[in-house]
């Protein structure tokens, strides 16, 4: 008897489905069971799908693809629907599929079975909902994992719906050796456990072990019972028998057509591994493989980034007596996490120290390459002994040469030379954010400096140099814009955030202070300090901090130093703002306005009536409520102040009136190469009705300009009490208000250059010799 006759006798049909051609072939019995005329029939895949319930067609397609991937026989049930939409019958198909999930061809048997009861159908629907929810949660957790360790932790906590495994292992390969990447539910506490694991680690891809076979063949392997495990893999059974599992599923981890390893799910009870259960396991294995491939790529990129950063970064901060230095670099640009930010600390032949920080345009490999070249060029120019302005000019010319072509780049840079002994800073700036200084009293202020365009924009630009002074216990901070703008900030709001961080941390441990700054800007706590520009891209962060520890017993001062060049009269406004910031907590706001006004008069007098630059030194000393402000303006001119009598309509000549009425003491100290004009103010006791503020300061400055900002100065008689602890000078020169300057007093003993001698008091402060 033929096989066809036997199948017809038991009402079983034959069918074939070629997914590549989209054709389904049915014999006579199969055609009748599908509701077609009882004769051999070939119909399209679309026509076949129209006769099968939509949910069952999806399951049929899934099971066929899974059977092809695993090269095994599968069984599935599906409902045949009549043309009017009612259920015709329920069929069971046993299929053998070949090919892969996307292009398979199957053949098998179909027969009619009893309809699934409603209660069982509802349970099946609930299981499908649980499966979908589980797969969504697992997919989300695996997609958020950024490292291999995180992926393995997610895999170890997977709770499969209805058949939860209690042992999970992820296998990988190192050459021909099989290795365990991670595991869960396999306690290794006893020497026997360690011995079993060591035996497992010695396995190779060619070993007779289920995971090795899955990696070799790329097909899943399901073991239903311990007896089956022992029969198929007797050597491996001696290793795994002690863990007490009853069923095992080994699935290949395939991504991009390449087998990365294998995933083992061990179950404490017998599992039949139905098509639905195998579908869930297969889906999880695919998601796990994709996650491992992605994190492997990310970790390779991070390793490459770390190697590049280590290669291009300075070898370390030199030990310099008298100063403390710390640096930080945080790559946050995405991709390879390399960018154009850099810093450098360069010992100079003169014994000084150069600090450099900069940012090359872009966040790609080209930006990193240009940064490396520029850093080397800057180090070379600095080591040759060039001044800061010359170093930046040469660096700009160099960058113009190396960044030509279709993708030119520019770079911002802040370069300064530090004298560790005196704290003098010579600063040159090329389009970079200004530096900041944390003062000994805990407050923080910006130090505006003269600057020019970014490097690489103009090849022959002459960058100006600004000289400022860093006092003991002051902390200098240089950073790239990433430290300010990360978290959706602009430069203004970013500076407000940074100032609050600096003022709330101690400075004795500079390393901890730098970590606190980076953590507050880039770490988890930074999410509480987001700015208004929430769509701003994250940027690299470079940070350099320098501190001058104070000698033991030294008194903490608040001090600022600034130079104003003849070619930059606009810096007078910067000097006014710095002095106002120095006096931000002064008890009398009207005195603050007066001090700002007098400083403006003194600087304007130097720029208008001399050919030299002006250096401003403002110092605030003493306890709160009893502080003394001393402001000095030094120039190299020998021209002495003289009194003028301006008329009612004169536009200048009234500066002397301001100095006499606003200061507690003022004077002129001659020096070998010029003179220093100064004034002092003593802080009054705080008054409850004190008035003033920023608006008043602006109005006073405007008044000074209306009275004549280019007025000359003359000494006055009234002065503040002397401060003890300093040596006396040669002579005392005092004048009453309105008294003209005497020619005899303008000539030093024995001749000289005609400058006014110093007064006998602390720092040249004249003592009171008369009263009003």
DSSP letters, 311-335, are HHS-S-----TT-EEEEEEE--SST
Residue in this structure with the two tokens 């800061």, named with its chain if needed: 388
CB 151 within 8 A of CB 139: no
To the nearest 10°, report the CA torsion of 471, 474, 479, 485: -130
Nearest-angstrom CA–CA distance, 716 and 367: 60
Token pair, residue 535, equals: 């769509």
Q: What is the pLDDT of residues 565-620, one digit of tens each?
A: 888 888 899 889 889 888 888 988 899 999 999 999 899 888 988 888 888 888 88
Whether 225 and 244 have beta carbons less than 8 Å apart is answered as no
What residues have CB less than 8 Å from 693, skipping those under 6 apart?
589
How many helices (H) and strands (E) would you count in the chain? Answer: 20, 27
- Domains of the chain, with CATH numbers? 3-116 (3.30.450.20), 127-303 (3.30.450.40), 313-547 (3.60.40.10), 558-642+650-764 (3.30.565.10)
Mean pLDDT of the region 272-293: 86
Look at residue 155 and give its three-state secondary structure: helix
- C-beta of residue 489 within 8 angstroms of C-beta of residue 497: yes
* Mode of pairing for the β-strands spanning 221-223 and 674-682: unpaired
pLDDT at 123 over 50: no
Which one has a higher pLDDT value, 453 or 647? 453
Q: What is the CA radius of gyration of the chain?
A: 42
Integer Cα distance of 641 and 561 in angstroms: 23
Residue 495 has pLDDT above 50, yes or no: yes
Phi/psi at 771 (nearest 5 deg)?
-120, 165
- 346 pairs with which residues across the strands? 354
Characterize the bridge pairing of strands 424-430 and 451-452: parallel
Residue 67 has pLDDT above 90, yes or no: no
In this structure, what token pair is assigned to residue 599? Answer: 């400083």
The percentage of residues in the chain with a pLDDT greater than 70, rounded to a whole number, is 75
pLDDT at residue 531 greater than cutoff 50: yes
Q: What is the mean pLDDT of the chain?
A: 77
Give me the pLDDT at residue 337, please: 56
Residue among 364, 357, 312, 361 nearest 336 (CA)? 364
How far is residue 422's CA from residue 410's CA, in Å, rounded to a whole number?
A: 34
d(C-alpha 670, C-alpha 764), whole Å: 10
- The pLDDT assigned to 74 comes to 81
Q: Provide the pLDDT for residue 763.
A: 35
**DSSP 8-state assignment for residue 176:** T
Say how many Å lie between the first and final Cα of the chain, rounded. Answer: 141
Which secondary structure element, helix H or strand E, spans residue 605, and what is its range?
Answer: helix 589-609
Q: What is the C-alpha separation between 736 and 739, in angstroms, rounded? A: 5
pLDDT at position 390, please? 93
pLDDT band at 358 (very low <50, low <70, confident <90, very high): very high
What does the alpha-carbon distance between residue 88 and residue 86 come to, in Å, rounded to a whole number? Answer: 6
E strands, 145-209, are 167-174, 177-184
Coil vs helix vs strand at 490: coil
Separation in Å, CA 501 to CA 381, 568, 662: 35, 33, 36
Q: Tell me the average pLDDT across 396-400.
A: 91
> Is pLDDT above 60 for 9?
yes
Which range of 43-47, 331-335, 730-734 scores highest in mean pLDDT? It is: 43-47
The angle, 0 to 180 degrees and rounded to 10, between the axes of the packed helices 571-582 and 694-708 is: 140
More confident residue, 197 or 73: 73
pLDDT at 477 over 90: yes
> CA-CA distance, 689 to 669, in Å (whole number)?
37
Residues 56, 121 contacting (CB under 8 angstroms): no
- Residue 502 above 70 pLDDT? yes
Greater model confidence, 516 or 149: 516
Q: Is residue 355 within 8 Å of 388, Cβ to Cβ? A: no
**Is pLDDT of 454 > 90?**
yes
The confidence score (pLDDT) of residue 649 equals 62
Cα–Cα distance for residue pair 506/242, rounded to 1 Å = 57
Residue with the two structure tokens 């009425």: 661
pLDDT of 557 > 80? The answer is no
- Residue bearing the bigger pLDDT, 554 or 716: 554
Instruction: Give the residue-averaged pLDDT of 688-695.
Output: 44
* Pairwise CA distance, residues 268 & 246, whole Å: 5
Least-confidence region, from 106-110, 389-393, 429-433, 547-551: 547-551
Counting residues of the chain whose pLDDT is more than 90, the rounded percentage is 17
- How far apart CA 228 and CA 222 sit, in angstroms, is 10
């Amino acid at each position: 008897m033929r096989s066809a006759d036997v199948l017809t006798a038991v009402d079983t049909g034959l069918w074939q489905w070629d997914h590549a051609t989209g054709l389904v072939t049915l014999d006579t019995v199969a055609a009748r069971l599908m509701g077609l005329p009882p004769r051999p029939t070939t119909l399209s895949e679309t026509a076949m799908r129209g006769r099968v319930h939509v949910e069952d067609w999806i399951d049929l397609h899934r099971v066929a693809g899974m059977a092809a991937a695993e090269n095994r026989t599968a069984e599935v049930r599906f409902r045949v629907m009549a043309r009017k939409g009612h259920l015709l019958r329920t069929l069971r198909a046993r299929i053998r599929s070949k090919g892969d999930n996307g292009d398979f061809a199957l053949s098998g048997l179909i027969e009619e079975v009893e309809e699934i009861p409603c209660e069982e159908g509802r349970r099946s629907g609930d299981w499908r909902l649980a499966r979908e929810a589980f797969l969504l949660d697992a997919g989300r957790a695996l997609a958020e994992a950024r490292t291999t360790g995180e992926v393995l932790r997610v895999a170890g906590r997977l709770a499969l719906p209805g058949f939860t495994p209690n042992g999970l292992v992820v296998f990988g390969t190192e050459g021909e050796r099989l290795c365990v990447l991670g595991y869960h539910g396999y306690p290794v506490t006893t020497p026997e456990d360690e011995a079993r694991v060591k035996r497992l680690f010695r396995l190779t891809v060619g070993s007779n072990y289920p995971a090795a076979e899955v990696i070799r063949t790329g097909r899943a392997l399901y073991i239903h019972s311990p007896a089956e495990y022992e029969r198929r893999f007797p050597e491996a059974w001696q290793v795994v028998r002690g863990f007490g599992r009853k069923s095992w599923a080994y699935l290949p981890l395939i991504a991009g057509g390449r087998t990365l390893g294998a995933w083992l799910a061990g179950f404490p009870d017998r599992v039949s591994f139905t098509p639905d259960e195998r579908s869930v396991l297969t889906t999880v294995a695919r998601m796990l493989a994709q996650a491992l491939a992605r994190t492997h790529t990310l970790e390779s990129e991070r390793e490459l980034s770390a190697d590049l950063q280590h290669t291009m970064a300075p070898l370390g901060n030199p030990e310099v007596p008298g100063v403390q230095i710390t640096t930080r670099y945080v790559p946050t640009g995405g991709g390879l996490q390399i960018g154009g930010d850099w810093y450098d600390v360069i010992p100079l032949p003169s014994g000084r120290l150069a600090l450099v920080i900069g940012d090359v345009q872009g966040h790609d490999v080209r930006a990193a390459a240009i940064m490396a070249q520029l850093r080397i060029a800057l180090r070379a120019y600095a080591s040759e002994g060039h001044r800061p302005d010359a170093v930046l000019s040469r660096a700009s010319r160099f960058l113009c040469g190396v960044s030509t072509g279709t993708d030119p780049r520019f770079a911002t840079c802040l370069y300064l030379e530090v004298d560790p002994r005196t704290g003098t800073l010579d600063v040159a700036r090329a389009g970079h954010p200004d530096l900041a200084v944390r003062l000994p009293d805990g407050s923080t202020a910006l130090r505006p400096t003269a600057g020019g365009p970014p490097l690489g924009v103009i090849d022959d630009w002459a960058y100006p140099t600004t000289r400022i002074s860093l006092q003991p216990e002051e902390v200098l901070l240089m950073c790239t814009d990433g430290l300010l703008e990360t978290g959706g900030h602009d430069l203004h709001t970013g500076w407000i955030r940074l100032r609050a961080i600096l003022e709330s941390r101690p400075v004795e441990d500079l390393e901890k202070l730098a970590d606190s700054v980076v953590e507050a800007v880039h770490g988890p706590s930074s999410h509480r300090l987001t700015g208004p520009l929430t769509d701003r891209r994250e940027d690299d962060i470079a940070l350099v901090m320098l501190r001058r520890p104070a000698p033991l017993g030294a008194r903490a001062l608040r001090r600022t130093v600034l130079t104003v060049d003849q070619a930059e009269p606009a810096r007078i406004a910067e000097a006014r703002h710095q002095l106002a910031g120095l006096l931000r907590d002064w008890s009398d706001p009207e005195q603050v306005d007066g001090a700002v006004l007098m400083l403006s008069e003194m600087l304007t007098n130097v720029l208008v009536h001399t050919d030299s630059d002006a250096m401003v030194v403002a110092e605030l000393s003493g306890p709160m409520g009893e502080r003394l402000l001393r402001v000095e303006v030094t120039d190299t001119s020998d021209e002495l102040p003289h009194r003028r009598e301006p008329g009612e309509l004169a536009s200048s000549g009234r500066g002397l009136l301001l100095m006499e009425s606003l200061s507690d003491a003022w004077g002129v100290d001659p020096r070998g190469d010029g003179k220093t004009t100064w004034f002092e103010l003593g802080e009054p006791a705080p008054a409850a009705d004190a008035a003033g503020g920023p608006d008043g300061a602006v109005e006073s400055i405007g008044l000074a300009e209306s009275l004549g900002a280019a007025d000359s100065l003359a000494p006055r008689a009234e002065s503040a009490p002397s401060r003890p602890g300093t040596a006396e000078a040669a002579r005392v020169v005092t004048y009453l208000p309105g008294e003209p300057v005497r020619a005899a007093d303008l000539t030093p003993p024995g001749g000289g250059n005609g400058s006014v001698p110093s007064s006998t008091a602390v720092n040249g402060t004249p003592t009171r010799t008369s009263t009003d």
